[in-house]
Structure 1
């Protein structure tokens, strides 16, 4: 589905050729490089169609049946469908689908449950915590008193004894479980137990694994957490946006925290696209996809380990793989630059105890139809570029060949 082959793109080409050329260039970039950014994926054409629908024109402050603008009869139906699909998909009492992003969802969760100055226990940023888990540059670190837990030095796994000890010592108002770079399943039952002992709310930041949860490839936080914050992109394969799942007794507090406390009008075209993605995630094809994402990540992790990179926690349970390239004689940021020049796009991330590593994800490559053989080849290519055993030009040619066989939007 090249940009220049759609009616909308033809209109754009006539009216704004400069922007049309820029967008076509971005599609070319996405289609000819390996998208290994763990937080990205390719949406379906149906999701893209909803995003470009006339709903983009509609102002819809409020909730179905209680809007602040007229003419919301249709968008009320759209939002109800999205909410019904989300609650059915994840087995939640209530869903709010208006959050503009994962960070917006976390902000609303804090607003619903906390007051400025409250103590919150969350994964420390050096160990994979998100900006909204207490960064001093973020609202979370400015408004709340965060205490960070970490991981065990040898295994790289969450230090559960430390979590329990910190909860007992600080008596937080809320405990957050979730990470942007922790590749293992989180023990939600353990965190529920600790939260109950401390008299704390449990907030699960499931932005990364929620798509795997939808496909039955990861445990669900919904039965354990008071509030679950998530994104609708990443493995879930929906539009860029957020959502909140919560217990029924918290529904009104959560909804008010989203609107009118932290956000204005809902983006109805995005909510429609979320509904489409929830519907797609209910299918057997998506279940197979989610399990293939994990299988691919495990092969990629094993291949990188065999090539000499240090794979954190010794592997992965999810779509995430985090590695330290230092054994190959290169640090994280330099490695990222070399790989980008070879057509492999990924992120750096903090690693435990001060190192800077690389964070990869297999969601997008799996959407393109790549499987274990391709992951094994990517691992070899990846390490070869970092060792300077494979020239950048040759690596780039191989990446083009691979993406040519597995285009994200085949005609």
Structure 2
């Protein structure tokens, strides 16, 4: 269903805009008209790969000359008026109340850890030069076809020195052919963008999922780590062993089965999803996260995705005194799960209520972890945080549509 173009101005000063115009030039022109250009310090955008990354980058350079821009392709865009199957979402950070520094990490498939650490040091120095002592968080946008998210997160975690990180892996509508990032007018592939942001407003990063472990366990006994493929589970062909646990014929396994029956790993008393990307002709399973031999996986069962999402957003709202804006990174498999259970409209209603914008990903980042089938993000509060308070969450109210 067509939504046209809309924009919101939020109490924290961030502007958001979203459009489902059919062409890149028209889409960028539409939200450029909807946004107030003068207050913007850094623009972040998530967009359908159908537009073409080069066309989007060129249109952004024409309509926002001189403005720093970061963005990536997605597998669906999230707006407060519902999901966009082909659209563009913009998050415009103002200069007042927010200080933003960004860096591009190229060739992350062969990431040089020392170069990454040096880039992080320069990024922190850049923000230190303009910072005023507010709360800080980091956003990551990573090419979702590089299989390098773990390497990136590992390389940057130490350099962030405790600054909490959330983010998402660029997608391409589940075609797994061509993901791309945009940074300062140029298109990049096989890269990552890291934004370090300081704000005067209360914030909280979060993660949310809707699964719980069952008693079915699998030990990873043979892998092809470079392809993120598992050849054997419990010393049996991986796909056949997984299908057996589900009580399904191997030949009937589909993406919806993978979304509804994820595998999880226990780390530090909590469970983290390791989602299956697809079944390979040789009977192995490709995953959206790296797995090592010897790792114990647990078959998980779904909980009510609407209830789980509602509980988390309500918690953030209460903790932060009302949510002003949530920038969210949601696994595309959660959308498939919501569609399978015919509750996607209910999720959209929650995103409208709590003012969520973002994109559907090929993986999510949370602190030092790369995750799947999870909803992560940064919640931002309405009122400036008292400087005496060292850390806090955020909440907010929806701005006026225009």
Point out the structure with the larger helix share: 1
- Computing the radius of gyration from Cα coordinates, the structure with the larger value is 1
TM-score range, shorter chain: under 0.3
Instruction: Provide the TM-score with structure 2 as the length reference.
Output: 0.28
Point out the structure with the larger strand share: 2
